[in-house]
Each structure stands twice: as C-alpha cells, then as structure tokens.
Chains A and B, each alone.
Chain A
C-alpha cells in the first residue's frame, strides 16, 4: 500500500511537469507568414510542439491588438506584418527583446540593418520584435508586352520622366496601362527618398513631414500618371488587380520581391516566363513589406523565454531561414542566408533570371525607416488627399497643406 501511495504521490508531483512538456507553444499568425511556421515545425520538433492559429491578415492584427490590450487569450508568439509594426511596437504591450535574458541586439549585425531599426520603439529604443523576412522593393515588368510596344526594359529604369515616357509609348501603341495604380508610384517615391533614421511621415520629433519636397514630387508624378491615363486605377489585391496580371492589362508593377512568388504560385501562374524583375526606376531603393515576430509582455516569464527561443530560431537559424527561402521564397532577414548559392539560381517564373541577386543588392541599400505609432493614420490621410488630387483635381499644394493640418491635429492630442 505504501508503495502504491508513493507512486500516486510521485505521479501527482510529476503531473504539472508532464503537462508542461506537452503544453505546445502558441503561435498566432496570418496567411503566407503561417507557411513559415509550417516549415519550422519539423525543424523545431525536437524542442517542442507548436500550436498554430491563423486568421485573415486584417483580422489577425485586430485580434492581436485586442488580445494585447485586454491581456486575454494571449498567444506566446505574435506574427506582425510591417504595416502594423509601428502601432504594436509603440503600444508598449510587446516585450523588449533587447533586455536580458533575450539580449536580442547581439543578433543585430547578422540581420539586414534597416529591418532591425523598424522594430525599435521610438521613445526608448526597445527592440519589440525580430524580423524573419524582408520585402526589398522591385520593379516587375512584362517583357513580351514591352517588346510588342517597342519599349526596351532599360527605358523604364532611367529617371521618373523616362519611366512615364515609356508608359506613354506603351499606351499609344497597345492601349495597355503602365501600372495598376498611380498611388503605388506615389508610395514608392515616399518610401525611397527618406533620409536614413527618419520616418516616412514623421520626423524624429514626431512631427508630420508633408511639407517635405518628396511629398510634392510623389503627388505631382502620380497626378501626371493619372492625367495621361497611364494607370488602370486598380486597387492592389482587388479582383481587377488580380485579373489584370492574368490578362496583361498593365505592363509593370512596383512591389516587394515577394510578389514574384505570389504571381508564380497563384496570382498568374500562366504568365510564367513572361515577367522580369529589375531594380526600381530612378535609382530608388525601398522596403515593401516584411514580417516580424514578437512576444506579449504580459506573459509569464517562463512562457516568454520559450517564445523567445522559438523566435530566435525563426530569425537567426540558418537552416530555418534557408528552408523558408527555398520552400516559400520568403526573402531572408538573416544576411548569411542571403549569401547561400541558392540566391544565384535562376527563377523559372522570371524567364530564368537570377533575380534574387538584384534583391540582395537592394536589401543592402534600403534606408532604415523609423516607424511611428501614427503611421497608419498619416497613411490614410495621405491616401485621402492623394485621391482628392487624382479624382477631384485638388491642387497638390492644398492637398499637402490639408494633410499636414489633419495629421498635426491628431498628433497634438
């Protein structure tokens, strides 16, 4: 009886430990980024189970914001797309990974420089997330359609004026559009010309910068594109935008390098071999997307440590970064992965072009932008004013003055 009692007691003591061992790491993510977790599972299997929950892109970020705010239903690891990074980083609800026991900044030299800067809190420099992939900006163009219009690819790459001139020639000869939407050109110019260490919309002192010349240049060029009917007025990810790729409605699109992977896999696989990639026009280099993982600050210390080990694995383990690159075409944030011979391989969808070399070069030249909590608001104000310029004929100067006033009103609260 004593022996049985002892066994029971031992089982009682061991139960929490056993339960802990089978307690999986909870990762919350969104489509396409969650594929990286699926790739990580077998590689990380020896270190623990991973429970993945996926929501649609917007729903995921809203759900995370709610969870972080209410401190309920918190996952251990939070997937964050760069558009939402500023808001989540500045919220103070994510763990500072630069502090012990994580000391994440020791990994910073191994990562693409601009992407680490994006995850740092403006007020105290806290590192609130780790980058796992990046989106170097690229110009994708339909080589066949350009040739039909008698336009050489090099004509697209000179100045912005050359790019628009090539578009006019395409329009005149084939009736096709140069790009899906003038606003993407505006966004690119705004992102490309930011001095390193500044934000897109705000300076270091949290003041809106709509009075900067780059805004006027971006708005004016977008206005010219719309005036000359060079854009198809398709909104990114709308049905028409997707159909436009399939039907060759436009000949170029500026986006992150990841778009080539999306085109090849599901957006327009039938156009395989017809697209090519290049650096952005006018010598511009810009970041277009990127994914991060963070840890809710409200978690217990032991869970945070477990979460950190997994994030560290995702971001800094060479085999993991290469697996994501090879299986998902997720461009690595780890510099060592970008040196792998795989980067030199031709990409069949791009007609055998070794385009990853272009993107590797771009990743070293992209300016480090400082994100701001109010970036989404400023972006929305800017989009509204740009629409008024493009659709309503509002003078650019007035639109920028109004944008500055509106954002300033929000900042002063």
Chain B
C-alpha cells in the first residue's frame, strides 16, 4: 500500500515534471503564433508574387501557356539597345532615338513628370509649413485640412474634374486664360503678351506632361506640407527663442534652424516623392484615357508595364520591366540617402 502511494506520488511528480517543460515550449512559441498571421499573409500576398515575378522575368509567358526559358532575353528586349547610334552619344540624335524606344520613353516621361511635379511640391510645402507654423495660431488645422483635401480625395474624381477643366474647346482653364488674353482696354489687349488669345489645345504632345505634372503637384503639395509641419512642431522652441534674442529674423531662423532640423523629414518626404513618382500611374492613366496621350508623351513606366502585360500578353517582359524599375528606384533612393540622410 505504502509502495503504491509512493509510486502514485512519484508518478504525479513525474507528470508535473513533464508538464512544466511543455508549458515552457508553448510559451516560447506563443509570440510566433500571434505574429504568424502577418507573416503568412505577407508570404502569400507579398513575398510569393515578388519572387514569382522575379522568376517569370527569365521566362517567356503569355499568362496562359507554359513557361519557356528566356534567360536575360526579356531584359534585353525591354531595354532595346540594338542599333543605337552610340557614336553620337553627346548629340541630340542619340537621345531622340533612345526616346523613340518604348521603355526609355516611358522612363524619361516618368522622370520628367516626377521632377517637374515633385520639386515644386517641396519648394512650396517647406515655406508653406513654416508660414503655417509661425503665423497661424487660430485656424491652423482648418487651413491645413484644406491643403490636405486633394490628397484624400478620390483620384478618379480629381482627374475627371481636371480633364473637364483642361478641355480645349469647352474648358474653364482656356476660358479664363483666353478671357484674360483677349481682355480689351481702350481698343487694345494689354494682357495679350502674357496670356493666350486663342484656345490652347492641352492635348498636344508638348503640353500633356505639363498638365499631368500640374495635377500631381496640386494633389501632393498638401501631404508634404503636413509632413513638414509635423516635423517643425517637434523642434524645441528654445532654439527659436534663443535666435530671436540674438536678433535673427524669421528668414534666418528658417534657413539656419528649421531647415537643418528638418533634414530627417526632408529625407523621408523626398524618398516618398521619389518612389511615388517612379510608380506614377493613376493621374496620367485617367487623364490620357489610358493611352499615354498623343505620341505617348505622358505614358509612365507603370503604364507601359501594364500595357506590356495586359495588351501584349507578355508577362515575362512586364516582370523584367518591373525589376528594372526597381533598380532605378533603388539607385535614386541610394543617391537621396547619400545626399540627405542625417549623419550621426
């Protein structure tokens, strides 16, 4: 009997001893279990498509049939560097020929629109944020909200409104500009030198990119203002007060205190603009009805990529273009990193 109890106790001890490490194991795995939904979803919807597109970029695939090994063929086809007049590299002929080639034209358009839309965004958002920070106490948030409104408004709605505004025959922009240009005072048109006197065809190839860039600029200037204003609010007021005591004007405070302190945010905002510009799709797509405009002057790389995949049914080349674009984004981000990233 004693022996039985003894055995029973030792058995219970042994069970408890076994239970303890099991609980430890489950505790060790619990965090992974809780965090696993993100990783599973990321693996399925993020990582797999990424890796598959890298894989497909080395094959010829129309999306229906079997994959056929192509090696670097898709990259060579997309880049289309054959028969380029390399000897005339420093002349316009070379660049005109390069611009005639789809990938390079789309990349050129993307960089052009990106630069023309993004640079003024930051050049205006920075002083605007400073102005709101220093001069606006009452109604700052309401004013900021108005600037931010284009960013949160549906892109399709925005673009359709702009499309109607820039209509050559019936648009508001032309009515306004031509109205000013043809305004008469004592029988003369005093503003004719500054404004057009005839309807401007905004669909002309040389103007399409400007219209797209304007819409993009208008949409994102508020976003950047919010970013810079948020960063300005984190700068200690003591610095500005000390500068004021020393007699520094607001301009000098902006240049010598605010701007250096904003450097991390500048880096972040410019990186966002860079990535957004190189992925630009919605605005030019809707404004040009998906065609890229006359002579595809406003066709961006993302639009070209979509065209190659869906119109041409060439998913291998489309994937190769996507990875080439990734390299371009990475190169520009590295450059931005080198120039603007704060050095500790």
Q: Interface residues, chain A, CB within 8 Å of chain B?
A: 58, 62, 65-66, 68-70, 87, 91-93, 232-233, 235, 237-240, 243-244, 249, 373-374, 376-377, 380, 383-384, 387-388, 391-392, 402, 409-410, 413
Contacts and interface: CB of A to CB of B under 8 A. Distances in A.
B201 A233 contact: yes
B312 interface: yes
B295 to A, nearest CB: 4
Contacts of A388: 295
B312 A377 contact: yes
Given A238-B289, A384-B296, 16 more contacts: A58-B290, A65-B310, A68-B64, A91-B62, A91-B64, A232-B169, A239-B170, A240-B170, A243-B169, A376-B311, A384-B295, A387-B205, A387-B294, A387-B295, A392-B295, A413-B77
B298 to A, nearest CB: 12
B295 A69 contact: no
A237 B65 CA distance: 35
26 contacts: A65-B63, A65-B310, A65-B313, A68-B64, A87-B313, A91-B62, A92-B64, A232-B169, A233-B201, A235-B291, A239-B164, A240-B167, A240-B168, A240-B169, A240-B170, A243-B167, A243-B169, A373-B313, A377-B311, A380-B311, A383-B291, A387-B205, A387-B294, A388-B295, A391-B205, A410-B312
B150 interface: no
B313 A239 contact: no
Contacts of B100: 402
A235 B312 contact: no
A116 to B, nearest CB: 24
B311 to A, nearest CB: 5
Interface in B170-226: 170, 201, 203-205
Nearest to B203: A233
Contacts of A391: 204-205, 294-295
Interface of A is mostly: helix
Contacts of B314: 413
B122 interface: no
Given A91-B64, A93-B64, A239 B312 contact: no
B53 interface: no
Contacts of A244: 169
Contacts, number: 66
Interface of B: 60, 62-65, 77, 80, 100, 163-164, 167-170, 201, 203-205, 289-291, 294-296, 307, 310-314
Nearest to B290: A58
A238 B203 CA distance: 11
B157 to A, nearest CB: 15
Nearest to B313: A87
A235 B292 CA distance: 13
A87 B81 CA distance: 28
Scoring A69, A374, A392 by chain B CB atoms within 10 A of each residue's CB, the highest score goes to A69
B164 to A, nearest CB: 6
Contact of A243 (B64, B170, B313): B170
Given A384-B295, A384-B296, A239 B167 contact: yes
The 10 closest A-B pairs by CB, nearest first: A69-B63, A387-B295, A387-B294, A69-B64, A91-B64, A376-B311, A243-B170, A93-B64, A240-B167, A377-B312
A374 B100 CA distance: 20
A235 B203 contact: yes
Contacts of A58: 290
A392 B77 CA distance: 27
Contacts of B307: 380
A233 B164 CA distance: 16
A245 B168 CA distance: 15
Nearest to B312: A377
Contacts of A377: 311-312
Contacts of B164: 239
A90 to B, nearest CB: 9
A240 B100 CA distance: 29
B76 to A, nearest CB: 11
